[in-house]
Amino acid sequence: MLPMEAFSFYKEGFEFAYRIQTIVYKPDFEEKQEMKQVIFVGFKRRCLLDLGKILLLPYYVVKTILCIAASPFVMFYDLFDSTGSLDKRWALYLLILSILPIVASWYLWDDYQAKTDEIFSVVSTYAKMSNTKYRVKDVPYKELINLYAFQHDLDPAFIAAVIEEESGFNPEAVSPAGARGLMQITPRTWRYIVEHSTCDGEHLPPACGPDCIFDPEANIRAGTDYLGRLLKDFNGNTVTVLAAYNAGRGNIQKYGIKKRGLVPNFPETQSYIRDVLAIWIKTREPFPPMEISGLKNYYDLNKKLYTTSFMLWSLLGMWIFLKAQKKTIHTFKFYA
C-alpha cells in the first residue's frame, strides 16, 4: 500500500470511529417509561430502608442503654470466665457508664455551689444584723453554754450547734487530727487560749483537773473565747468564722478568704459549715427560712456519684489488666 493510500485508509477509520462514539442514544417512549419505573422502584426501596432505620431507632437506643446498664455485671462475670470470648464493645459500654457519673456530678456541683454561697451569704448577713440572743434550754451543759456565750457576746444556740457537730456533747471525744473535748480544741489552740493552764492538752482522757482540756467548763470557756476572737477578726462573718474554726485560721488567710468573705473549696469544711448551720437554725428561733437539708442531699448525691464512678473505673482497669495478662481478649460478634 502506498503511503498516501495508507494515510487515507487510516483517516477514514478514525473518522468512522469518531462517528460511532459521537452517536447519541435516543430511547423510545416505552424505554423511557421503563427507566422511570426502575428509578421510582429504587427510590421507593431507599425510602423504605430509611423508614425502617427510623422505626428501629428506639430499639437500638433501648438496646444500647440496657447494654450500658448491664456492662458492670457482664464485665465482672467475664473476669472469672476462662473462655474469654467477650466482645470488646462491652468495655466501651462500661467506659461510657464510668463517665456518666462524673458528668452528672459536675452539673450538680455547680448548682450545689450556687445554693451554698447563697445560703452562706444569707446566714452571714442575718448574723451581723441580729443582736438578739436566746438562751438554750434543751441541750446538755446549757448553763455553761449560756454563761460563756454571753460573756463573749455569742449566741448560745450557735455554741450549742458547734458542740453538737464537733463532739456530739461527748466531753472525752478525741478526733483523728488530735482535737479534744466538747468543742474539739487542738492542743496548740488550747495553749494559745489558756496560757497559764497546767494542762498542755496532749494527754488522753479523762480530765486531769479543773483547768484540763477535757473538763467541760474549761473546754467551753476556751472554745467560746476562741470563737469570739475569730468573730472579731473576720468582721462578724459567722460562716467564715466556722470555716476558720474547722480548716484553721491559716488556711483562711492563705486562700484570701478573709478579704472575699467566702468559704474555702474544701468539701469537709463546707460540709461542716452546712451541718452546723442546720443545727443552729433548728436550735435558734426565729431564723430566716432556708432549705439547708437540700444542700445535704446535693452533697451526699455528689459523693455517691464519685464513689460509683471510681468503682466502675476500677472494674474497667482490672478487666483490662487481667485480660492483657492472659491475652484472651477476643472479638466475639455481639448480635442484636
Could you tell me the three cell numbers for 35? 427507566
Give domain status of residue 324, yes or no.
no
**Cα separation of 171 and 180, whole Å?**
8
In this prediction, residue 309 carries a pLDDT of: 85
Could you tell me the three cell numbers for 216? 467541760
Read off the pLDDT band of 287 (50, 70, 90).
low
Determine the residue type at 16.
F
Cis peptide before 27 (omega within 30 of 0): no
With a cut of 60, say whether residue 130 has pLDDT above it.
no
- Reported as a single tens digit per residue, the pLDDT across 238-283 is 888 888 898 888 888 776 554 455 677 777 888 888 888 888 877 7
In this prediction, residue 336 carries a pLDDT of: 40
Domain extent for 181: 113-304
Could you tell me the three cell numbers for 88? 470488646
Could you tell me the pTM of the whole model? 0.54
Give domain status of residue 236, yes or no.
yes
In this prediction, residue 218 carries a pLDDT of: 94
With a cut of 50, say whether residue 329 has pLDDT above it.
no
Give domain status of residue 56, yes or no.
no
Give domain status of residue 40, yes or no.
no
Distances from the Cα of 179 to the Cα of 19, 99, 127, 186, angstroms: 105, 38, 27, 4
| Total number of domains in the chain | 1
- Which CATH number does the domain housing residue 254 bear? 1.10.530.10
In this prediction, residue 190 carries a pLDDT of: 92
Give domain status of residue 7, yes or no.
no
Give domain status of residue 32, yes or no.
no
In this prediction, residue 36 carries a pLDDT of: 67
With a cut of 70, say whether residue 81 has pLDDT above it.
yes
Q: Which residues are catalytic?
A: 166
Give domain status of residue 261, yes or no.
yes
Give domain status of residue 329, yes or no.
no
In this prediction, residue 4 carries a pLDDT of: 53
